[in-house]
Amino acid sequence: MENDQDLLLISIFTFFTITLWVTFELLKTVKTTTVATTTQQIVVPLNPKIDIDTVNTIANKQVY
């Protein structure tokens, strides 16, 4: 009887451990991005606005 209870406890703990482990593995899968680092670098947003006024100001300055 004592042995049975011990084995039951061990099996319950094993079950919970495995359940938690599986849960965390699945969470990790959901949270981890599948996009490669190089792709992430490529898709960094680009601001297309060029400050033309500043360029014109530079062009209007003098060279001595």
Judge residue 52's burial from the number of C-beta atoms within 10 Å of its C-beta, 0-12 exposed, 13-18 middle, 19 or more buried: exposed
CB of 18 to other proteins, least distance (A): 4
Q: What is the DSSP letter of 36?
A: -
Binding mask 8-27 toward other proteins (x if CB under 8 A, else -) reads x--xx-xx-xxx-xx--xx-
CB of 33 to other proteins, least distance (A): 6
Q: Which of residues 35-64 bind other proteins (CB under 8 A)?
A: 35, 39, 42-50, 52, 55-56, 58-59, 61-64
Rounded-to-integer distance, Cα 54 and Cα 59, Å: 9
